[in-house]
Chains A and B, each alone.
Chain A
Amino acid sequence: MTTITTASRIPIDGPVETPWKLPYRGNVGMACLIIAESAIFIIFVVAYIYYIGKSLSGPTPAQVLELPIFGTICLLSSSIFVHFAVNNLRKDNLRGCTLNLAATVLLGTIFLATTAQEWYHLIHDEGLTIKTNLFGTTYYSLVGLHATHVVVGLIMLSLTLGLSLTGHVKEEHSEKLEVLSLYWHFVDAVWVVVFLVVYVIGR
């Protein structure tokens, strides 16, 4: 048998399938992250559902929870704006991109503020903390996990907004902005699940 002894056989030539196109690694990486994060959320959601109605003491969700309709509308609509931002950047409409990014950050911040207000109300007026009962334990951990993701998303979006205000975001970055928008869509989609489980089924 022949043995290759030098590097001279590189490149290995052959008929090339044209065009040879592979997916963009940012999107694939984000998809992987979303799968892993979904698994984490599923575990917290399962724990929440498993412990519905199993608290040994009050307060119960029906007594203290109110539907956060306003915050939900803000968060879900922010997804549309981040989508517009990507589209605008793709068409090289930098101004439109900046405006839409600003709207996304604003709406996300409003959502976060409503969550903060809700927690303040629960802790100070109702005396519900993570220690109180199983409802408190599962509620704060699940909603808190989601809020953590909102905070991370807001930090990244604000950085992008800052860069775009200083004129550093260009059309060629649209793929990267799309990766960020995927994360933001994911955070919104998770909220739909959390909303249904905590505020609809759980009550």
Chain B
Amino acid sequence: MTTTPVLEAIDETLETQGRPPLNVIYEWLTTVDHKKIGLMYIVYALIFLVIAGFEAILMRIQLAIPNNHFVSPQVFNQLFTMHGTTMVFFMGMPILFGMGNYLVPLMIGARDMAFPRLNAFSFWISAFAGLLLYFSYIGGSGLYAAGSAPDVGWFAYAPLTSKVFSPGHSTDYWTLAVFLSGVGSIGTALNIVTTILCMRCKGMKMSRMPLLPWLYLVMSGLVFVAVSPLTAAQIMLTLDRYLGAHFFDTQAGGSAILWMHFFWIFGHPEVYVLVLPAFAFANEIIPVFSRKAMFGYPAMVAASVSIGFISLSVWAHHMFTAGLGPAGNTFFVFATMVISVPTGIKIFNWLATIWGGKIIFAVPMMFMIAFLFQFLIAGLTGIMLSAAPFNWQLSASYFVVAHFHYVLVGAIVFSLFSAFYFWYPKVTGRMMSETLGKWHFWLFLIGFHLTFDFMHVPGILGMPRRIYTYEAGRGWDTLNFIVGVGAIFQAAGTLVLVYNMIHSYYKGKEAGHDPWDAWTLEWSVPSPPPSYNFAIEPTVSSRRPLWDIKHPEDPDADYE
């Protein structure tokens, strides 16, 4: 069975049109194809990854030795604000949405997203928001005075953001950028949910859907209830700054704590918005490289959904030191600790999947194994911080910074790297170099542990976060130097990745349809997939359709 004449004609049109470079650019700018939009998301996020990573390196250079004057206090404030904001809103969310955009329709057997034009709109508005944030470097205070980026922290606590403490327009750039990125995120989330619920191919019941779309469904649901409050809070902040409203103005009876609540009602579920896709990649990659079906599919779905719900009731564990009183603190201690139950289920299910499997130590699997260990450690320090008395001691110290970077880098970024190596052949039709991949893995792994393992210790020794320098002789010097060295290793690893991606695009080995011998629908189409994805929309009868084709004697459907 080959493609039908109509689709061949479409292929030909696509081949012949747009050969001159200008047409190619025009085609990308105006595309509504979910794969191209996904790739644009990923490229734009990678650019911001490099920028925000560079900001991190500058901060670590500043903190590497005591009494350093590499950057001024104000520049340091701008650096950590821009680093945090960029990494969360313009690297983390877009790159995960990009992966979802690319993979979800392919995995559920659809030809595109439910609303392709909304998809393009969401991308462009997010990209514009990122540019707007960095435009503040030239357009922030007054007329194009340089160096006026936002410096209120990515949490933008009131009253730091009031006109008195934050004159000029740098905070307005921050507010607008975050607001617009929120609009884009809600649009994409809406699109993903609708695609999953309404565009599945024949036979793909919810109980047969791969786990990746399932987790993207939960993640998108979280976006509605987490990002919208942030959008509302940004509207209020703008009203405060432009129309003289008093939401967060303590002089007129307003409350600074209310901003904290509104921000963390977004801020905590946001962690799960970022980590659920990371789980999603693990759910697809670990089974393939263990040569076993995912252990406990229904439990995984249930755990993901309950993580989604519980994560909405834990926001105030960021505010233990704000003085909520014993009743509030107790509730949020327990709510936070309850999250470890579904996450524990997930970790044990991954281990059970690996258990007794024929493990293949390809680069994606190496990243996944590191992910498992690091996510476990991140969870353990999370339990420590969820205990209010412990939190009172270490709140706003480098221990907290180390903890959340363990989640964001150790879990999410490692899982993301694994996903890059895993799906790169599908996207480009070529394999990534395994040798360079191993270089990337070891450089990044060593760098990650040098940075974030050692960062816990100055936190316990009392080093507060957000200080721009410190005196010698407090026992922080050597540790901070090691942390700085680790940051350089991570940067080197990331550059190897970027080189690998570009190099393999031209010189990589041909991948074919299914280089990993995997099971989900995206591996049944050519690499890279044609713009209509499926020549004929597929029909599935089990959770692992390609397994059934490869092993007709042992079909999956018998086990469901």
Contacts and interface: CB of A to CB of B under 8 A. Distances in A.
Interface of A: 1-17, 20, 22-25, 28-29, 32-33, 35-40, 42-44, 47, 50-51, 54-56, 130-131, 133-134, 136-138, 140-141, 145
Of the listed residues A16, A25, A131, the one surrounded by the most CB atoms of chain B closer than 10 A to its CB is: A25
Given A47-B247, A141-B245, A40 B231 contact: yes
A12 B239 contact: no
Contact of A131 (B199, B229, B243, B255): B243
Interface in B183-242: 186, 189-191, 193-194, 197-200, 202-203, 205, 220-221, 223-229, 231-233, 235-236, 239
A40 B232 contact: yes
A36 B184 CA distance: 12
10 contacts: A3-B513, A12-B538, A16-B203, A39-B225, A39-B226, A130-B243, A133-B246, A141-B235, A141-B247, A145-B235
B514 interface: yes
A16 B109 CA distance: 14
A15 B513 contact: no
B536 interface: yes
B463 interface: no
Contacts of B197: 22-23, 25, 28
Contacts of B164: none
Contact of A134 (B189, B193, B194, B246): B246
Contacts of B258: 47, 50
A95 B190 CA distance: 34
A133 B253 CA distance: 9
B491 interface: no
Contact of B225 (A23, A35, A130): A35
Given A14-B541, A51-B253, A36 B186 contact: yes
Interface of B: 1-3, 114-115, 186, 189-191, 193-194, 197-200, 202-203, 205, 220-221, 223-229, 231-233, 235-236, 239, 243-247, 252-255, 258, 262, 265, 512-514, 517, 521, 523-526, 534-542, 545-546, 548-550, 557
A17 B225 contact: no
Given A6-B513, A14-B539, A36-B225, 7 more contacts: A9-B524, A10-B535, A12-B549, A23-B198, A25-B194, A50-B258, A141-B247
A25 to B, nearest CB: 4
Contact of A4 (B227, B246, B265, B546): B546
Contact of B114 (A25, A50, A51, A145): A25
A3 B243 contact: no
A131 to B, nearest CB: 4
Nearest to B197: A28
B1 A8 contact: yes
Contacts of B253: 51, 54-56, 133-134
A39 B224 contact: yes
